[in-house]
Amino acid sequence: MRNRKLLFLIASFTVFAFVVSCGGVKTLRSIPRSERKGLAALNFMNNTQKSRAEEFQPWEVGLSSMLTTDIESIGMFNIISKERMKDVMKEQEIQMTGLVEEKDIVKVGKLVGASYILAGSFTEMNGMMRIESQVYSVEKGIQLGTAAVTGKTGDFFELEKQLVTKVTDFLNVILTESEQVIIKAKVETKSVEASLSNYKGEIELMKAKELEDTGKKDEALKLKQVAKEEFQKALKEDPNYEKAKQNLAKIVSAIPVTL
């Protein structure tokens, strides 16, 4: 009992030290970026029943984002940016969501310079959530395995952390107990509604950028306004949601005062 309490205190102190030092991007392991392997994540497929699928659509992007943020914090992988992924897949006329053929996934990994690719899906039904993630080795050209977690939708953020631990096993990264404590402690928000609103806003921003790239600036501005409202909703649900704060700050500076 005494040893367990001591372990908890050590882990808690480690969490505190890690969080305090996060002014810059601090990782759990000190491996030079030049020695890290590239990892890319596709958007997750939303297999929720059609009548409610739209409600959880933001997590198609959100789940991928949360997983890569947690995996990057370990310090063993260089995460391939969504922008890089999107550019390559656009050139190849491949969708970010819904890529299921192993050969296509491996092909994308090679094109973006990734050693590993994460894909996956989730299903919400009657207050329960199931999340699955497939891990692919680009170098070997095979699927390494599938990780799955199931639980209450309200426990979504805990489920995501459980998934991180399972996914990293396939990546040959065994997290120590203290590392798991640190990762579990770093939660964007504990509000399901805030998370969905934030990622809905991010999706609207992505659409706005696509419109801007084709010269449709007026339509892009309208979507930016929608994104702004979603970020505000997220902060209404959770005033301490740092990611939503940052997104709102960026969008406010991007929208003319007249809107």
pLDDT tens sequence across 158-171: 999 999 999 999 99
Predicted confidence at residue 97, as pLDDT, reads 57
As a whole number, mean pLDDT of residues 84-107 equals 74
Question: What is the arithmetic mean of pLDDT over 208-230?
Answer: 94
Predicted TM-score (pTM) of the model is 0.84
pLDDT, greater one: 95 or 207: 207
Residue 38 has pLDDT above 60, yes or no: yes
Instruction: Give pLDDT, residue 5.
Output: 42
The pLDDT-based confidence of 6 (bands split at 50, 70, 90) is very low
Mean local confidence (pLDDT), 66-92: 88
**Rounded CA separation 8/16 (Å):** 12
Range list of H helices, 35-155: 50-56, 58-72, 82-91, 102-112
More confident residue, 259 or 117: 117
Quick check: 195 and 230 in contact, CB under 8 A?
Answer: no
Higher pLDDT, 93 or 202: 202
Using pLDDT thresholds of 50, 70 and 90, give the confidence band for residue 18: very low
Whether 255 has a pLDDT exceeding 80, the answer reads no
SS3 191: coil
Q: How far is residue 108's CA from residue 233's CA, in Å, rounded to a whole number?
A: 35
The β-bridge relationship of strands 116-125 and 37-41 is parallel
Rounded Cα gap, residues 67 and 55, in angstroms: 20
Buried b / exposed e along 67-83 (16+ C-beta atoms within 10 A)? bbbbbbbbbbbbbbebe
